[in-house]
A = this chain, B = another copy of it.
Amino acid sequence: MALAFDVAGLTDYLHEIFPQVKDDFSIDAMDEQGLRMRLLTAERHLRPGGTVSGPSMFALADCAIYALILSRLGREALAVTTNCSLDFMRKPVAGADVIAEARLLKLGRVLAVADVLMYSEGLGEPVARASMTYSIPPKR
């Protein structure tokens, strides 16, 4: 399926519609297979001890998959998270960026499904896994 944006265009569009997460995430790469997003880990994402918080990991997975869906559907699209399953498997490296590798498993008329593996930068084993379903409302 053709991509509706390049990395710069999708980044601009996300900043436009979600200005509040502008400093949290950046898109590292994107192609026909998937999308790689980075959590720019800062003090506000951490729990005591320096671990990246659960809500920040959730936000990264959700944002990566949302961006992935937009990359196919383009500017007019809406997509609403309806279901999320998350496994927290390892303690993230204190202070390191977290990299999410998202892949699209289904892009249907009313539902999209994708999953994501999340890695502390420089660590070979994933720290978390998520799968999410989005409902795609009909175009107005």
Q: Provide the bound-state CA to CA distance between A20 and B53, in Å.
A: 11
- C-beta contact mask, A48-61 vs B, less than 8 Å → 1, else 0? 10000111101100
B81 touches A54 (CB 8 A): yes
With A87-B113, A113-B89, A126-B105 given, is the CB distance from A54 to B48 under 8 Å? Answer: no
Q: Which of A98-114 contact B (CB under 8 A)?
A: 105-106, 108, 110-111, 113
Q: Provide the bound-state CA to CA distance between A108 and B82, in Å.
A: 12
Tell which of A47, A88, A108, A125 has the most Cβ of chain B within 10 Å. A88
Number of copies: 4
Surface stretch bound by B, among A4-12, A26-34, A67-75, A129-137: A129-137
Q: Which range holds the interface residue count of chain A?
A: 35 or more
Task: List residues of chain B with CB within 8 A of the CB of A81.
Answer: 54, 88
**22 examples of A-B residue contacts, CB within 8 angstroms:** A18-B48, A55-B56, A55-B59, A58-B58, A58-B84, A81-B88, A82-B133, A83-B85, A83-B86, A83-B87, A83-B133, A84-B84, A85-B131, A87-B105, A87-B131, A89-B108, A89-B113, A105-B117, A105-B129, A106-B126, A110-B110, A115-B129
Smallest CB-CB A-B distances: 5 pairs: A85-B85, A55-B59, A89-B106, A55-B55, A84-B86
